[in-house]
Amino acid sequence: MNRLRGAWRQYWVAIRAMIVLTVALGVAYTFVVTGIGQLAFPAQANGSMVTQDGKTVGSTLIGQAFTDAKGNPLPQWFQSRPSAATSNGPAGYDAAASSGSNLATGNPVQVKAVQDRTAAIEKLDGVPASAIPSDAVTASGSGLDPHISPAYALLQVKRVAEARGLPEATVKKLVESRIQARDLGYLGDPTVNVLQLNLALARLGR
């Protein structure tokens, strides 16, 4: 009887500990962290969504395509980095299928993809292959990268300016004003958020 009573006491202690920890870590902690996120970082906590004229047009955290219905790049917009994140068609930027191609640099499929992208940019922007930065022809590890390098953004200035009938200097100045510095001043490389750049471009009124 004493042995049974001792075992039950241990079980009851374990059950109470489980209840307390579930409430503290599974409920209270979640509410506290969620509350801090909503108060201190509301935009980030809600997906960093971007709205224009009351309509959600995207997120600063997820890249998107600026192409026509056939997937052809629209010359009046800055183009994003290529994406291999796709579960339905070639468009990419599918948040439900986030991934890179996982192909080695020497893989024939990867080599052909880079060659095709290079040729497309040579034709679209009228630049030699040697002027095209690597991020313009390779997909990111997530396939959802919303940023491009300043070099790729500046490479597109002439084409965008011509398509919109804007002075090239005006578009270049816009790009330079949208360059984001390295995180904490030393992590990563300077970047340009394509969605934010295109929204600023649209506000120029052309």
Q: Give residue-wise pLDDT tens across range 49-93.
A: 777 777 887 788 888 999 998 889 999 999 999 988 876 655 678
Is the Cβ–Cβ distance between 59 and 48 less than 8 Å? yes
Entry pTM: 0.79
Q: Give the whole-number percent of the chain exceeding pLDDT 70.
A: 88
- What's the whole-number mean pLDDT along residues 174-194? 90
Of 80-89, 135-144, 146-155, the range with the highest mean pLDDT is 146-155
Place of tokens 């002439």: 158
pLDDT of 126: 95
In Å, how far are 30, 62, 130, 192 from 146, measured between CA atoms? 29, 5, 24, 8
Q: Which two tokens mark 77?
A: 């917009």
Count CB atoms within 10 A of the CB of residue 147.
25
Residue 100 CB partners (closer than 8 Å, separation 6+): 84, 139, 140, 141, 142, 143
In the predicted structure, residue 37 carries a pLDDT above the cut 90:
no
pLDDT of 96: 79
pLDDT of 53: 77
| Cα 172 to Cα 187: distance, rounded to the nearest angstrom | 25
What residues does each domain of the chain span? 2-43, 48-202
